[in-house]
Amino acid sequence: MEKIELFNDVVNIINENYLFLGEQKDVWNKYVENMKKNIQSVENMHDYLRDMLLILKDSHTNLFINNSPEKFFDLDFTWINNKIIIKPNIFGYSNEILDGELIEVNFESIDRIINKFESKLENFPKCIVQDEITKYINNNLKLKFKTIKVMKNNSVYIEKIKLIEQKDSNEIIAKRLNNIKTQFFPALITDIDQDTLLIKILTFNEIDIDKYLLNKYDLIKRKRRILFDVRNNKGGLISETKKVVSLIIKHDVELDYKIISRNGIERDFNKITTQHNDLFFNKEIIIVCNEYSMSSTEFIFIKGLKAGHDNVKVVGNITAGVSGQAKIFNLNSSNATVQVTVKKYLDKSNRELISGCIPDEIVDLSKDNYIKHIDNRIKLLTLN
């Protein structure tokens, strides 16, 4: 496929759909002209186009490749306090590197990788930077092995991580599931103690989450305290998020910001009307969030509950500060899609919202909390 055709395809989609504010359009046009001059010398057009989109400084706008990898490295990890910690994957590590800190990949230090992406993605939320580093480390390099260096208990371990065929991984997963059919739930509900119920909402991209919660009416009704865990919830459908909020709040809410599209300000966006269901009215509500809580999770769920319920406490880490609403567009010239920001959130001074929600209490969970999936700090918070 011609490089210029792909380039123009992406540029046209942005020009016709992206919501430019202030001087963004002029900056974009000048940058596009400069990028266009170097197209013929580009080896990887998809990476080139991703770099071009960075000029918008908008984590909602990005380019995605649609084809699934045929191979991937047998490596899984998580970010804890700006460090990369090895965690169990579907194949189950049983050696010394489990819960150690990843310090080198293919003889490239993690510190160098972090510095490179922090410079490239300056002014982007930390969670977005970490996501890009994760993609870089997991990238299917043209190697048979990925050599990693891990630090654990002041000892250094060097290990070769093998390349796995997708078909082999599917067989392993099928055996582990033992052919049991699984069903996706938009929320996980668990007893913490006799007074407290944990409701972990995984995403707001599912339909009728409020009805799912209502189906647990008896379980929720007998609890005095509800702990909503929205860590790593990157948001989703605004309409569905508002429906969940309307189920919980005691009184109607008018949020202190507005949403704007190319057609102007959406007047009814910031209004959330209570369902007048008393299921949550007499409950103590605790919301747990982190730097990966984004978009509608931050600015509708958290802010909506804080404004519309009398007994809400937010704990965890400052959220991402990623507002707006995006739409997916298919490229005619490539097996890729472009996600484009078509709506943005503005504060009372008509400035774009880019600051996350600050919890009432900052809580950092330890490495053991993540690796063992035990949130002892959160359990203790419910007893305060």
Domain shared by 93 and 219, yes or no: no
Q: How far apart are CA 186 and CA 181, in angstroms?
A: 17
Asked if residue 310 belongs to a domain, the reply is: yes
Domain shared by 157 and 225, yes or no: no
Asked if residue 34 belongs to a domain, the reply is: no
Domain shared by 242 and 304, yes or no: yes
* Number of domains comprising the chain: 2
What burial class does residue 119 get, using C-beta atoms within 10 Å of its C-beta: 0-12 exposed, 13-18 middle, 19+ buried? Answer: exposed
Asked if residue 8 belongs to a domain, the reply is: no
Instruction: Give the residue numbers spanning the domain of 200.
Output: 187-321+356-381
pLDDT at residue 135, rounded to an integer = 87
Q: In this structure, what CATH number is given to the domain that contains residue 225?
A: 3.90.226.10
Q: How far apart are CA 102 and CA 294, in angstroms?
A: 26
The continuous run of DSSP H or E covering 258 comes out as strand 258-261
Asked if residue 349 belongs to a domain, the reply is: no
Domain shared by 106 and 244, yes or no: no
Half-sphere exposure of 330 (CA within 13 A, CB side): 3
Asked if residue 84 belongs to a domain, the reply is: yes
Domain shared by 200 and 222, yes or no: yes
Which stretches within 89-224 are classed as H helix? 110-120, 126-138, 166-177, 209-214, 217-221
**Which residues does 300 contact at the CB level (< 8 Å), separation at least 6?**
238, 241, 242, 245, 255, 272
pLDDT at residue 359, rounded to an integer = 94
Domain shared by 199 and 236, yes or no: yes
Asked if residue 104 belongs to a domain, the reply is: yes
Domain boundary among 127, 153, 177: 177
Domain shared by 107 and 246, yes or no: no
Domain shared by 192 and 98, yes or no: no
Q: In this structure, what CATH number is given to the domain that contains residue 158?
A: 2.30.42
**Which residues does 2 contact at the CB level (< 8 Å), separation at least 6?**
333
**Which residues does 337 contact at the CB level (< 8 Å), separation at least 6?**
63, 64, 66, 328, 329, 330, 331
What pTM value is reported for the model? 0.81
Q: How far apart are CA 21 and CA 121, in angstroms?
A: 20
Domain boundary among 156, 177, 198: 177
Domain boundary among 126, 154, 177: 177
Domain shared by 315 and 201, yes or no: yes
Judging by DSSP bridges, how do beta strands 155-165 and 145-152 pair with one another? Answer: antiparallel
Asked if residue 339 belongs to a domain, the reply is: no
Half-sphere exposure of 68 (CA within 13 A, CB side): 5
Domain shared by 250 and 362, yes or no: yes
pLDDT at residue 180, rounded to an integer = 46
Q: How far apart are CA 137 and CA 22, in angstroms?
A: 36
Domain shared by 201 and 158, yes or no: no
Domain shared by 276 and 149, yes or no: no
**Per-residue model confidence as pLDDT tens for the chain (384 residues):** 588 999 999 999 999 999 999 899 999 999 999 999 989 888 889 889 999 999 999 988 999 887 666 677 888 888 887 899 998 765 655 578 888 999 999 999 999 999 999 999 988 888 889 989 998 898 756 677 789 999 999 999 998 887 777 665 556 555 555 554 555 678 889 888 899 999 999 999 999 999 999 999 999 999 999 999 999 899 988 899 999 999 999 999 998 888 899 988 876 667 899 999 999 999 999 999 988 999 999 999 999 999 999 999 999 889 999 888 899 999 887 788 999 999 998 888 888 888 899 999 888 766 555 544 445 555 555 444
Asked if residue 135 belongs to a domain, the reply is: no
